[in-house]
Amino acid sequence: MYIVQNTFSIAEQHRESFEARQHAAPTVTDEVPGRLMVARLKGDEPGVFANLSIWESREAFEAWRESDNFKQAHAGGPPMEGVFTAPPQLASYEVLRADGGVPVAEAAATGD
């Protein structure tokens, strides 16, 4: 299993619209081979947001990055000049061990 986190620092005047776009963004895990889950996160620190995705493998993630689906997901959209206070930070992790589990849809529905 492979986990990828992309963290964004958003300027104060753009936080509300950025958050709204995160709520509206489609999550098409069924259309992306090997992607198990996507979560859009709002940090405790003001202006910090992250996208977290869980993949079957590093190879599945790399295949997605080379895919037309990736290009479509990152094309167009509103201008981003002045939105970020720092460049997005990408971090990726190979899972050594995972215990337990929470069904993602259920956790989102209950706020857990």
CATH of the domain at 29: 3.30.70.100
Q: How confident is the model at residue 47 (pLDDT cuts 50, 70, 90)?
A: very high
Instruction: Measure the CA–CA gap between 34 and 64, rounded to whole angstroms.
Output: 9
Neighbours of 11 (CB within 10 A): 13
Task: Give me the number of domains the chain comprises.
Answer: 1
Pick the more confident residue, 70 or 1.
Answer: 1
Per-position b or e across 50-60, b if 16+ CB within 10 A of its CB:
bbebbbeeeeb
Q: Collapse the DSSP code of 109 into the 3-class scheme (helix H, G, I; strand E, B; otherwise coil) and give the result.
A: helix
Domain residues for 17?
Answer: 2-110
Average pLDDT estimate for 35-46: 92
Average pLDDT estimate for 69-91: 82
Sheet-wide strand order for 48-55 = 35-42, 48-55, 2-10, 84-94
